[in-house]
Amino acid sequence: MSRNVYKQIYKKIKKYQTIVIARHIGPDPDAVTSQIALRDAIKLTFPNKDVYAVGASVHRFKKFGSLDKINLEGLNSCLLIITDVPNLDRVDDIVNLNYQEVIKIDHHPCQEKTCDLELVDETASSACQLVADFIYKTPLKMNVSIAENLFLGIVSDSDRFLLSYTTAKTFQVVSKLIDDYHLDFSRLYPILYERPINEIRFHGYIGENLEIKESGLAFLKIMPEIINQYNVDLATPSNMINDFNFIRDVLVWVFVTYDEKNEIYKINIRSRGPVINIVAERYHGGGHKFASGARVKTMEEVDELIKELDNICHDYKGM
Ligand code: AMP
């Protein structure tokens, strides 16, 4: 990453009085912690600027800090920074925003440049790794709560350093955060991992009902009755999908969750071999090589997607 990009982004942050920081719809911990950490670092460095972290709030993520409820239409031309999202059409809550320039800080693969300035590194474990590195390489300030949020985003998106996007750089950044801010990191883990007993029971349901094909493709269609029966929500399957890694017979695994309100099937896909984002992209989706998502309107499309994934598992195994 050229040092110039860090400088250029910092200069833009210095220039604008109003800055809005947004992330993707259906956020995960890395999306929320990266936007809150960046907002707080800018506020700490420039207390007189108006800096807002926007998007729908998620009850589960309250412990990371609060998001800003503001009337975006009322803002004069501002700087928009998007974190953890490659495309503007997946950014949450910016339709009414009149922004002058847009900057992206992200670790998703993206073919085209879509923003005025981009700090994109698809080999980074998380958006938080990039935000931490950015803060360290510029005059922006950090404090303990910012460092804690960055730590939690990195831990969550790397799945506790299990995923292959974890590199020596990830450990360098984490080690520096722990050292510089004396992070009591074991105290932080319940923020990410504590959950109610009904979620554990739902986890058991998934294990019991996951269908596994000969190719190594596993899938489960989760209907609203099951969501209601276990008293979980539509985001729960997404939060659990990484737990089903390292199953000997499984190469690619898929959860399909029907969202009745929006009449759409939300699909989470993970892989420990075949590249899956190229398939997800054909079904209104995308993401990383081994962690992708998609959204389709009909069960026929769901079945087509499952068939395509079954085929790539076959090809991968050379069957
Ligand atoms: P998820 O399964 O929702 O945790 O998503 C895994 C990865 O795929 C994340 O990096 C998401 O940003 C990305 N992703 C999920 N759904 C979509 C979608 N419909 N379009 C593009 N990327 C997606």
Give 164-186 pLDDT, tens digit per residue. 999 999 999 999 999 999 999 99
pLDDT tier at 144, thresholds 50, 70, 90: very high
pLDDT digits (tens, 9 = 90+) for 232-254: 999 999 999 999 999 999 999 99
pLDDT of residue 139: 98
Mean pLDDT of the chain: 96
How close is the Cα of 122 to the center of ligand 1, in Å?
Answer: 14
pTM of the shown model: 0.94
pLDDT of residue 6: 97
The amino acid present at 31, given as its one-letter code, is A
Q: 200: part of which helix (H) or strand (E)? A: helix 197-209
**Nearest residue (CA) to ligand 1, atom 13:** 287
Query: Residues of the chain with pLDDT > 70: what percent?
Result: 99
pLDDT of residue 93: 86
Give the C-alpha separation, 315 to 36, whole Å: 42
How close is the Cα of 25 to the center of ligand 1, in Å?
Answer: 9
Mutate to test the pocket of ligand 1, among 60, 292, 296, 297 (most ligand atoms within 8 A of CB): 292
How close is the Cα of 76 to the center of ligand 1, in Å?
Answer: 31
How close is the Cα of 2 to the center of ligand 1, in Å?
Answer: 27
Which of 280, 306, 277 is closest to 289 using CA atoms?
A: 277
Pocket around ligand 1 at a 6 A CB cut-off: 24, 28, 90, 108, 238, 268, 284-288, 291-295
Query: Residues of the chain with pLDDT > 90: what percent?
Result: 93
pLDDT tier at 74, thresholds 50, 70, 90: confident
**Nearest residue (CA) to ligand 1, atom 4:** 238
